[in-house]
Amino acid sequence: MMPTPTAVTVRAAAKINLHLGVGAPRDDGFHPLTTVYQAVGLCDDVTAHPADDLSVDIAGADWVDADAIPTDSGNLAHRAGVLLGDHHGRELGARLVVEKSIPVAGGLAGGSADAAAALVALDRLHDLGTSDTDLLRIAARLGSDVPFALLGGTALGTGRGEVVEPVADVGTWWWVMVPSLEGLSTPAVYRHFDQLFPDASPTPPDAEALLGALRTGQPVSLARALRNDLQEPAIDLRPELGRLIEHGESEGALRGIVSGSGPTVVFLCESADHARDLAGALMRTGSPVVLVANGAVAGSHVVPAHV
Ligand code: ATP
């Protein structure tokens, strides 16, 4: 007799971009990237419960705007289920419960994390045995950041970010993360990049300085090497992000930077204690939500339910 499948919970982390070099748009409209991703300890959990049909339910931390997330086929976790089913030539039923802690449209790739977690959860629930290569290929079709959400750790991303390889990272890095209450559209930030930099090179700036800094394990070196080519367009669209960065640095952050396309701002700190102190200072001076996370953490992985 077949054993009754039980629910499977998979955890996937938010990403920040330590280096985001952006080139001029390609013929297919995507921007070529050289990026260094780091997975940080701010995670969504996706639980796949046995069910006949595929559906998505959202539960969110109080700083997550759950109303902004579709629960129909527009949800990336749902799309992941459809693409994985197509790959295996069958429909995959499951009730996917997404417990979100990653802010929505925050430049932290929360939707990509959910897609990656859903792929792994559905693979395990239905005992599909999908190879890592196939999972990465399906992930790349779901979105540029989804392969990294499977891989985790610290990785170099090329192509449009979907070609990922792990890189040497000897440090434990402490981040204070300040999400905005209102998200920022990734396509709008890229469009503004194109307006600001019409002569951008087709080859994105390389990540050598950042990779070298990672190998030192020294926060001060990493702080100097952080780079985000989307920061200027993001700040142009949201000037308060520039003021927030200046404020965090005046409160002692080694460096503040917009994460990906924003609007989340992340501040690099010396240590866990330093991060807690900075978080306290930012909360006292009016930031409604301030989170502390360290990196690098693991990619999408199965966890016992309710851990
Ligand atoms: P990226 O940096 O990869 O563009 P982001 O962190 O800025 O990502 P997401 O939180 O991934 O943004 O969400 C972008 C949009 O995707 C949201 O506005 C939402 O409507 C849609 N979306 C679809 N599925 C999800 C999901 N599971 N979680 C969050 N948003 C989702």
pLDDT band at 36 (very low <50, low <70, confident <90, very high): very high
Contact present, 300 and 43 (Cβ < 8 Å):
no
DSSP letters of the chain?
-PPPP--EEEEEEEEEEEEEEE----TTSPPPEEEEEEEEEEEEEEEEE--SSEEEEEEE-TTS-GGGS--STTSHHHHHHHHHHHHHTS---EEEEEEE-SPTTSSS-HHHHHHHHHHHHHHHHTT----HHHHHHHHHHH-TTHHHHHHBSEEEEETTTTEEEE------EEEEEE--SS---HHHHHHHHHHH-TT--SSPPP-HHHHHHHHHT-HHHHHHH-EETTHHHHHHH-HHHHHHHHHHHHTT-SEEEE-TTSS-EEEEESSHHHHHHHHHHHHHTT-S--EEEEE--B-SEEE-TT-
Give the mean pLDDT of 166-190.
93
Which ligand 1 atom lies nearest to the CA of residue 144?
3
Looking at ligand 1, which residue's alpha carbon is closest to its atom 9?
105
How many beta carbons lie within 10 A of that of residue 108, not counting itself? 29
Rounded to 10 deg, the angle between the 132-142 and 110-125 helix axes is: 140
Residues in the chain, overall count: 307
Is the pLDDT assigned to residue 47 strictly greater than 90? yes
Q: Is the CB of 262 under 6 A from ligand 1?
A: no
Q: What's residue 65's pLDDT?
A: 86
- Give pTM, 2 decimals: 0.94
58 CA from centroid of ligand 1 (Å): 13
What is the C-alpha to C-alpha distance for residues 301 and 9, in angstroms, rounded to an integer?
8
Q: Please work out whether the CB of residue 157 comes within 6 Å of at least one atom of ligand 1.
A: no
CA of 287 to the centre of ligand 1 (A): 22
Domain enclosing residue 270, as ranges? 1-307
Mutate to test the pocket of ligand 1, among 46, 67, 69 (most ligand atoms within 8 A of CB): 69
Q: Mutate which of 15, 55, 104 to test ligand 1's pocket (most atoms within 8 Å of Cβ)? A: 104
Ligand 1 site-directed mutation target among 37, 63, 76, most atoms within 8 Å of CB: 76
Tell me which residue has its CA closest to atom 26 in ligand 1: 111
Q: Is the CB of 116 within 6 Å of ligand 1? A: no
Least trusted range by pLDDT, from 170-174, 179-183, 208-212, 243-247:
179-183
Active site residues: 15, 145
Q: Does the Cβ of 258 fall within 6 Å of ligand 1?
A: no
Whether ligand 1 lies within 6 angstroms of the CB of 120 is answered as no
pLDDT class of 216 with cuts at 50, 70, 90: very high
Alpha-carbon gap, residue 231 to 241, rounded angstroms:
9
Q: Is 76 in the pocket of ligand 1 (CB under 6 A)?
A: yes
Question: How confident is the model over 204-215, as a mean pLDDT?
Answer: 96
* Overall average pLDDT of the 35-50 stretch: 98
CB 301 within 8 A of CB 120: yes
**What is residue 68's predicted lDDT score, i.e. its pLDDT?**
87
d(CA 203, CA 137): 24
pLDDT tens digit sequence for 140-163:
999 999 999 999 999 999 999 999
Phi, psi (degrees; rounded to nearest 5) at 120: -70, -40
Q: Which residue has the higher pLDDT, 287 or 150?
A: 150
Q: Which of 136, 86, 89, 87 is nearest to 115 (CA)?
A: 136
- Average pLDDT over every residue of 245-268: 97
CATH number of residue 293's parent domain: 3.30.230.10
Cβ of 147 closer than 6 Å to ligand 1, yes or no, is no
Nearest protein Cα to ligand 1, atom 31: 111
Instruction: Give how many domains the chain has, as a whole number.
Output: 1
Structure-block tokens of residue 57: 């339910």
Tokens 């925050």 belong to residue: 106
Q: How far is the CA of 111 from the centre of ligand 1 (A)?
A: 4
156, 234, 242: which is closest to 196 by C-alpha?
234
Q: What pLDDT shows up at residue 60?
A: 87
Give the nearest ligand 1 atom to 104 CA.
10
Binding site membership of 114 for ligand 1 (Cβ less than 6 Å): yes
Region of residue 83 (left: phi > 0; alpha: psi -120 to 50; beta: else): alpha
